[in-house]
Amino acid sequence: MSIASRTLLPLALLTVLLGWAGLANAKEEIVIGHYASMTGDQATFGQSEAKGVDMAVEEVNAAGGINGKAIRVIRYDTAGKAQEAGNAVTRLVTRDRVVAVLGEVASTLSMAGGRVAQQFKVPMVSSSSTNPDVTAIGNMIFRTCFIDPYQGYVVARFAHEKKGFTKVATLFDQGQAYSKGLNDDFQKAFKSMGGQITTEQAYSAGTADYSAQLSAIRETSPEAIFIPGYYTQVANIARQARKMGIKAVFLGGDGWDSAKLAEIGGEAIEGAFYSNHYSHQDPRPEVQEFVKKFQKQHGDVPDAMAALGYDAARLLLDAIKRSPSTKGADIAKALSETKNFAGVTGMISIDKDRNAQKNAVMLEMKEGKPAYVTTIPPPGAGDEKPAPAPAPKAPEKK
C-alpha cells in the first residue's frame, strides 16, 4: 500500500505528481481522499481518524485489494479550518481525481468539504460529524456515526433518568455547528422529560476567559452543566469552573473524546460524563480484535475517532467492492444500500437520509480515563443496556 500524507503542495510539483498518480490510478490503483485536522486545536481528532483509516486500507490491501487493485489514500491537513477543508476536497476531486472522500470529524469542516464533493458528484463519508445538516447537503454525502438529535436525547435521558438531575445549565460554542446543534437537541430532549434548563450561556472559539458565563451559571445553582464543545475548550472550562467553586457535574458529547481532555483538565474533569460512539472496554469481538490490532501497531488504546475512521474506511471500501464501477453514482448507490454492516462502533445501516442508525454509549471520566457506563439505543429500539463486564485492562503506552 502507498499512503500519501501531505499538506498542500506547490502547484507545479502537485501537477507532476498528480499526472503520475492519475496514470497509476487508471491501471493499478483505486485512489480515495482523506481530509482531516492533523494539526491545530482538533489535531488529536484527525490524527486518530487517520490511524483508523490507514489500518482499514492496509487490511484490504493485504487481502489483495479490490478487484486486484491496491487502495491508495491521499491525505490533506485542514488544520481545523473550514476554508482549508473546502480547499482540500477541491484538490482531491479536481486534481487527484479520487473516486471518493473520507472526512471530516468536525461538522463545520464536513459541511465545507461536503458542498464541494456534492458539487462534483463524488461520494463523501464522514466518520464522526454529527450535525444533521452534513448529510442534508445532498445525495453524495454519508456518515457512519449517529446524529445530534439522538446524541442530545442520549445525554438528556442519562442525566434525567439515571442521575436524577432536574436542573441543568448549558454552555456552548456559538461558532460551531456541532456545538450549537447539540446544545439545542439536548435542551429539547431534557425539557420534554420534565427537566429545567436554568440558563443558556455561549462563548466563541478562542475564548480564554469563561468567568462571565460561569458566574451566570453559578447563580442558577444547576446540578449539572452540559458543555457540547471540543476537548480543549471543555477542559479549560472545567478548570475555571472548579476554581470558581462550581461543584456541578459536567456533561458532554463525543467532542470530548481525546486523551488531551484529562491531560488539560486534570482533576477538574473527574466524574464527568459524556456520550460517545464506542468504548474500548466493550467485550464484543469486533471491538476487542480492533483494540488488539491497534495496540500492536500504535502502542496505545484507540479512541472513538480511530474506531470511527476505521469503520468509515471499511464501509466505503466495502461499497466500492460491491459497486459495478468506480463512478460516483455507482459508489453512492452501493453506500445507500448498506445494511447491518458489522462495525467496531456498532452495527451500521444507512437510512434514507444517508445517516447511520446505531447505538451510543455513556462514559465516565475515572482516574483520567473514560470508563464504560452504559449503552443507550435510539428511541423505540429497545431498552438501555447496562455496562458489560470490562474487558482485560489494556497495557499502558510505552
Using the predicted structure, report yes or no on whether residue 293 has a pLDDT greater than 50: yes
Consecutive H or E run containing 13 = helix 11-27
Q: Which of 384, 364, 347 is nearest to 281 (CA)?
A: 364
pLDDT number for residue 380? 59
Query: What is the mean pLDDT of the segment spanning 346-351?
Result: 93
In this predicted model, which residue has the larger pLDDT, 251 or 394? 251
| C-alpha–C-alpha distance, residues 40 and 47, integer Å | 11
**Percent of the chain with pLDDT strictly greater than 70:** 88
* Closest by CA position to 45, among listed 208, 277, 207, 239: 277
191 vs 4 pLDDT, higher one: 191
The pLDDT value recorded for residue 26 is 46
Architecture category of domain 148-276+361-386 in CATH: 3-Layer(aba) Sandwich (3.40)
* Owner of C-alpha cell 463512478: 327
Q: What is the CATH number of domain 3-146+284-358?
A: 3.40.50.2300
Question: Quick one: pLDDT band at residue 9, thresholds 50, 70, 90?
Answer: very low
For residues 357-390, one letter each, b for 16 or more C-beta atoms within 10 angstroms of the residue's C-beta and e for the rest, the string is bbbbbbbbbeeeebebbbbbbeeeeeeeeebeee
Q: What is the pLDDT of residue 385?
A: 52
d(CA 12, CA 293): 39
Q: How high is the pLDDT of residue 283?
A: 86
Q: How many residues does the chain have?
A: 398
pLDDT band (50, 70, 90) for residue 5? very low
pLDDT band at 12 (very low <50, low <70, confident <90, very high): very low
- On average, the pLDDT of the chain sits at 90
pLDDT confidence bin for 28, thresholds 50/70/90: confident
Domain ranges of the chain: 3-146+284-358, 148-276+361-386
pLDDT given for residue 381 in this prediction: 54
Task: Between 16 and 78, name the one with better pLDDT.
Answer: 78
Do residues 255 and 107 touch, judged by C-beta distance below 8 A? Answer: no
Q: Do domains 3-146+284-358 and 148-276+361-386 have the same CATH topology?
A: yes
Span 77-111, pLDDT tens digits: 999 999 999 999 999 999 999 999 999 999 999 99
- For residue 2, the model assigns a pLDDT of 36
pLDDT(379) > 60: yes
**∠ CA 259-263-268, rounded to 5°:** 115
Beta strands in 315-390 (DSSP E): 341-343, 346-350, 356-357, 360-366, 369-376, 385-386
Position 378 scores a pLDDT of 74
